[in-house]
Chains A and B, each alone.
Chain A
Amino acid sequence: MGHLNSLTGQGNLSRMPYPVRVIPGSDTAVETLGLRKAYRSVRGRVVGVDGLDLRVPAGGVHALLGLPRSGKTTALRLLTGLAHADAGAIKIFGVPVPDGLPDLAGRIGAVVGEPGFQARLSGHRNLAILAIAAGVPRTRVDEVLARVILTDRAKAAYGTYSADEQRRLALAAALLRDPDLLVVDEPSGGLDAVGTREIRQALRRLADQGTTVLVATGVLTEAQQIADTVTVLDGGRVLAQGTVADLLGDAKVTVRVRLDEPGKAATTLRAAGFKVRADGELLHVDGVAEPADISRALAKQKLFPGELAPQREGLAAVVGRLRPVAPSVPEPLSRAEERAARKAAEQQTADRKKAADQRRADKEAAEKRAAADKAVAEKTAARQAISDGKAAAKQARIDDRAARKQPTTDEKAAMKPDVERLTAELDARPSAGPDGAKPGTAKPDAKPGTARPTASKRAKGSR
């Protein structure tokens, strides 16, 4: 075991107060293996980095790129010994950290957080104090001030410095011992455009002079501008490591789409294989190689965007693109949640059963109603049939009776001209009636039409 430790330089690691894994010797500047760090907070434990496997090649600028709370600053704090890891191993220039940090004194310079300079003292005096603490000659102060182009402002009080001057002074403090590895957290954080450009140029210059520069940044363009290699972090883990050209250099864009039916459009685009993020009425489609494909996919569903604007791919899009698509695993439920879920399932079953019972009852009622309707209809039909039969029989009887009476009527009709003739003859014959009127002459007060009432009544009665 001792032999193995001596081979791998793990003698110090065996004394570490937390479980470590062994990193074989390498020529990289920084290497971590399974690094894990969690913080206690009022809301419980917050994981800073979780199984971080990092490799920073010696020389050049390496960027730790990630969204806020992705573990960048935590990683830097662990590397510089400001925080202790819960598990895992770190090696810087082959020396295990944090136990070997004293051996690395002077080889690492860091700008992590505010440097705590005194506002009343000049930049030069602040650096001189640190130089005394670091044990470097005071002439070195002037050198590093010149290196970060701050000589003109060296005598001014630190409190009067602008944000980028403060940042450059912090950088100068980190350079006091001429480190081989420079660690900088958010180099352009809070700086204006000019300050940002200057600090990036300064870092690039240092890398060109042979210093390994490790920067943690949440600005994609910063990584693209100054870094040679990049590690993309997400949730405390490494999403991807490689050259900037490989990871960030492709021409994919994010397209902003605005239209009336964003929900339907999002569904359509997802079905067409696009990565869509909804933002109110806006949709952001990530990783698009050809924006016209979006128009085509939407047009197929008769959706026509009012705005379709291609944008540069942001960091969120890069992280989204690199993030592995894992099948969604349901999170284990708490006991209360389990109870609620069980209750909900029982309620659902009861509802389903109730609905089925209701459906069955409705069906039975409908059947009963249909049967009743059918019976009524049958009864009505039977009644109608009986009624029709009776009417038919009656009609038959009437017809029969009429048929029987028809010859008599015909006879009577045949006799009718004779009767009329005889009547006319009788009327033409003079005769005295009891009132002195001639027979067949109507009385003056007699109503018209009453001359032959008997004949007409007879005709009617014969029908």
Chain B
Amino acid sequence: MTGLLWAELRRFGVRPAIRWIAAGMVLHVVVAVALTAFEADVSTLAELLTRGEISFYAMTSVFLAYVAGVLLVTGDAASGGTRALLTVEPRRGRVYWSKVAAAGLAVLPGVAAAYALLALGMYGVQARAGGLGGPPAELALALTWSGVRVLALAACAAACGAALGVLVRRWWMAVLLAAAWVLVEETVLSTMPPAPAWLVFANADGSIRGTGTLLSGDAILAVPVGHSALLLLCGTTALTLLGWVVFRYRDVR
């Protein structure tokens, strides 16, 4: 199992698409920090954390982690690799879970780097402008814990991406599904009063912010962080289990 995981990680690392995704994460963060630095609206770092702007920028990295997870299991090279692995290791369960785990682990360095750049950049920009809005130690701790939650969320997103990639087999379909879900949730489902507590992106946003409340439209909803984390974990588990069942019985192309 460790060998399989290591092999998958190596294969993941050398794929050009993954490198492009990592570059995209970093570029996005740099642009976000630059925009904050030259923004006329003067908000403190504490306000940015509370309003969820930091989590908004981090969510882009999480989405890119999901795409990376999809790309790990789709495409010709991935199909060929799966075939080759199954000829040396016929236990499909091991192959599948190694892929899911590899997806979750492989995105961590990129997301961590991107979040570190984001947090340090924001902190630096605000500190230089004298707008931290709170004790530096508390802000640093809040940013650190937020970063940990971003990493956990990115790992879950990548695992979900790998599972959905196994289910639909085409990377563009999996990416479009996620994009469509974001649109539907933001435009339709979030307007229904009891729904946000159970929506994926609302809970993801809340879990990154870690404030215990989340802003949805005009209303401030109280959503416990534990609830968000548990909900996302359950969703991830359900999706990956579904992917395993399908991978177990489906023919490999």
Contacts and interface: CB of A to CB of B under 8 A. Distances in A.
Contacts of B87: 80, 82, 108-110, 112, 174
B6 interface: yes
Nearest to A110: B87
Nearest to A119: B77
B14 A77 contact: no
Contacts of B249: 17, 84
Contacts of B82: 116
Contacts of B90: 80-81, 98, 101-102, 104-105, 108
B7 A132 contact: yes
Interface in A101-149: 101-102, 104-106, 108-110, 112-118, 120-121, 129-130, 132-135
A83 interface: yes
Interface string B81-97: 11111111111000000
A108 B15 CA distance: 28
B83 A82 contact: yes
B13 to A, nearest CB: 10
B14 A118 contact: yes
B173 to A, nearest CB: 17
B3 A116 contact: no
B14 A113 contact: no
Contacts of A134: 3, 88-89
B251 A115 contact: no
Contact of A102 (B14, B81, B91): B91
B4 interface: yes
Given A105-B89, A105-B91, A116 B251 contact: no
Contacts of A297: none
A133 B68 CA distance: 21
Nearest to B13: A118
Nearest to A39: B251
Contacts of B251: 77, 82-84
A176 interface: yes
Interface string B55-70: 0000000000000000
A120 B89 contact: no
Given A82-B252, A102-B91, A132-B6, A115 B86 contact: no
B218 interface: no
B10 interface: yes
B88 A177 contact: yes
Given A118-B77, A130-B7, A82 B86 contact: yes
B101 interface: no
A113 to B, nearest CB: 6
Contacts of A129: 7, 10-11
Contacts of A120: 14, 16
Interface in A411-451: none
A253 interface: no
B80 A116 contact: yes
A49 to B, nearest CB: 13
A390 to B, nearest CB: 110
Interface in B15-57: 15-16
Given A82-B83, A84-B251, A116-B82, A133 B88 contact: yes
A248 interface: no
Contact of B88 (A84, A98, A118, A130): A130
B4 to A, nearest CB: 5
A174 B87 CA distance: 8
A106 B78 CA distance: 22
A83 B252 contact: yes
Interface residues of B, number: 29
Contacts of B16: 120
Contacts of A104: 90
Contacts of A77: 251
A142 B83 CA distance: 22
Given A82-B252, A118-B15, A113 B89 contact: no
B78 A132 contact: no
A121 B77 CA distance: 13
Contact of A116 (B4, B14, B78, B88): B78
A84 B16 CA distance: 33
Nearest to A81: B90
A459 B85 CA distance: 144
A443 to B, nearest CB: 144
Contacts of B4: 133
B79 interface: yes
Interface string B166-205: 0000000000000000000000000000000000000000
Contacts of B11: 118, 129
Contacts of A35: none
B138 interface: no
A113 B80 CA distance: 7
A113 B91 CA distance: 19
A217 B252 CA distance: 21
A112 B3 contact: no
Nearest to A115: B84
Contacts of A176: 88
B2 to A, nearest CB: 9
Interface string A80-100: 111110000000000000100
Contact of B80 (A114, A132, A177): A114
A165 to B, nearest CB: 16
A133 B91 contact: no
A17 B144 CA distance: 50
A115 to B, nearest CB: 5
A116 B15 contact: no
A310 B15 CA distance: 54
A116 B83 contact: yes
B65 to A, nearest CB: 21
A173 interface: yes
A410 to B, nearest CB: 135
Nearest to B79: A116
Interface string A48-91: 00000000000000000000000000000100111110000000
Contact of B3 (A83, A98, A117, A133): A133
21 contacts: A77-B251, A80-B86, A81-B90, A101-B90, A101-B91, A102-B90, A104-B90, A105-B88, A105-B91, A112-B83, A113-B80, A116-B77, A116-B83, A120-B14, A121-B14, A132-B3, A132-B7, A132-B10, A133-B6, A133-B7, A134-B89
Given A84-B251, A116-B77, 8 more contacts: A83-B251, A113-B80, A116-B80, A116-B81, A117-B84, A120-B16, A129-B7, A129-B11
Q: Which 7 residue pairs spanning A and B have beta carbons closest together?
A: A116-B80, A133-B7, A116-B81, A101-B90, A134-B88, A83-B251, A110-B87
